[in-house]
Amino acid sequence: MKPAVRIQQEDFSQDEEIRALQASSKRMGGIATFLGCARDFSEGREVSEISFDAYGSMALSELGKLRSAAIEKYGLLDARIVHRIGTVKGGENIVFIAAGAEHRVAALEACRWMIDELKQRVPIWKKETTPQGDAWVTPHP
């Protein structure tokens, strides 16, 4: 089975990640997921692709801490986080987060918390390629 936290160039399978999550416990009654995708339009400009740069070792370590913190904070049975780097085209997947808990509330809240925290804590940067040129993305709240 693939590690629960990964940073990778290649696309991921949501089904595979959810199956891996489910395999960790039969007590799981709720799974919440977040899928972040590359938009082809941003700030009034067409975006053909997005390139990601990351402080790889730190980003992986921060994702691992984030997963552990979410499991503890929300009493999850398991959680998985996969983030792509390299170049991603409009419409393609960027990040997948899955939280599994006995009940839905913990799963939903943990999933929301993890993506919000990821944006604050994990050293990854995106650059959009547009007809007007390339631009590093200013984070959204």
Instruction: Specify the residue, 52 or 74, whose C-beta has the smaller distance to another protein.
Output: 52
Kindly tell me which residue out of 76, 99, 108, 122 binds another protein, with binding defined by CB under 8 A.
122
Q: Tell me if 41 contacts another protein by CB under 8 A.
A: no
Q: Tell me if 72 contacts another protein by CB under 8 A.
A: no
Q: Tell me if 49 contacts another protein by CB under 8 A.
A: no
Going through 9-77 in order, the beta strands assigned E by DSSP cover 30-37, 41-42, 45-46, 49-54
Q: Tell me if 112 contacts another protein by CB under 8 A.
A: no
Q: How far is the CB of 77 from another protein (least distance, A)?
A: 24
Angle (CA) 128 134 139, round 5°: 45
Q: Tell me if 45 contacts another protein by CB under 8 A.
A: no
Q: Tell me if 35 contacts another protein by CB under 8 A.
A: no
Going through 38-104 in order, the beta strands assigned E by DSSP cover 41-42, 45-46, 49-54, 78-84, 86-89, 93-101
> Which class for 94: exposed (0-12), middle (13-18), buried (19 or more C-beta within 10 A)?
buried
Q: Tell me if 57 contacts another protein by CB under 8 A.
A: yes
